[in-house]
Every structure is written in C-alpha cells, then in structure tokens.
Amino acid sequence: MNITANGIPTRPQTLGYGLTDSPSGQAAWILEKFWAWTDCDGHPENILGRDELLDNVMLYWVTATAASSARLYWESFGPKRRAPFKVTIPTGVAVFPKEIVTPVRKWMEASYTNIRHWREMPKGGHFAAFEQPDLFVQEVREFFRTLRLPPVS
C-alpha cells in the first residue's frame, strides 16, 4: 500500500480489502485514528469510553464500510483532487485544535465567501461531535441563531 506524506492511503481500495477481511486490523486502524486525530493527551480512552470506541469499530466492521471511509479522504485531498469552488451561503466554522488540518480563516475565505461565524474551540479534534458533543452542539446552535428570521409581528 502506498502512503502519502500525510498518512492518507493512495490506494484506499487495497486498504479497504484488508480492513474488511480482518476484525483486528479494522480495530487497529480505527483506534490509531482516534489516537492521532482526537484531543486525547496520548490515549483515546482519555476522551472516549472503551464501549464507544468498540461501537465505532463495529459500525465499520458489520457494514464493511472501511473502503468507502478511506476513499473519502483519498478523493478529498491532494493538489490534483481539489477543484476551485465558491460557497456563497452563510458559513459557520468551529476550529478544533487537534483537527487533522487546522482551518486558517484567510485561506478559507477564498472559497467560503460568507463566513459569519468563526470560533477557535478550547479542545477537540477531527471527531469533534463524538469527543466533545456539548461544545459541538453549542457551536451549531450559536451559528444557526445568526440565521433566524426576526419574529413576524
């Protein structure tokens, strides 16, 4: 399997076959991602319970979705994979400090031209909704409050 500099598989289908064929391989792959991509101070169980981790592994295992999961990253990153785009609808961004690639507002504004909400969060990573659900929900609510129409009188 070829690996790019940022650790994303260059041939996700090959990886998918291996993960679908091996429950221990699937567990190792997912748990390594939780270790690397969460704000866990070096151990995923510092932020997520063992049952939560195993439930997540089982969701990939019983649905055989490892390949499609890896493919999303493979298709989304890389210089030849990203086409220029413009998003003009109101956008909210919550920047979690342990995200794989931390968003930079100046760079995002080139494509997201209507950023109305930007907050740098105190903790959290790539799986923010899973590891920091209260903070995540608070941010979603705060952003959408800015879009509410005034009450009709």
pLDDT one-digit tens code per residue, 120-138: 999 999 999 999 999 999 9
Where do the domains of the chain lie? 12-76, 91-145
Supply the pLDDT for residue 1. Answer: 44
Q: Return the ∠ at Cα 129 (arms to 48 and 89), rounded to 5°.
A: 165
Distance (Å, rounded) from C-alpha 32 to C-alpha 68?
18
pLDDT one-digit tens code per residue, 16-60: 777 888 888 889 989 999 999 999 999 999 999 999 999 999 998
Sign of CA dihedral 112, 6, 71, 42: negative
Helix (H, G, I), strand (E, B) or coil at 141: helix
pLDDT one-digit tens code per residue, 70-102: 777 777 766 566 667 899 999 999 999 999 989
Residues 6+ apart with CB under 8 A from 95: 102, 103, 118, 119, 120, 121
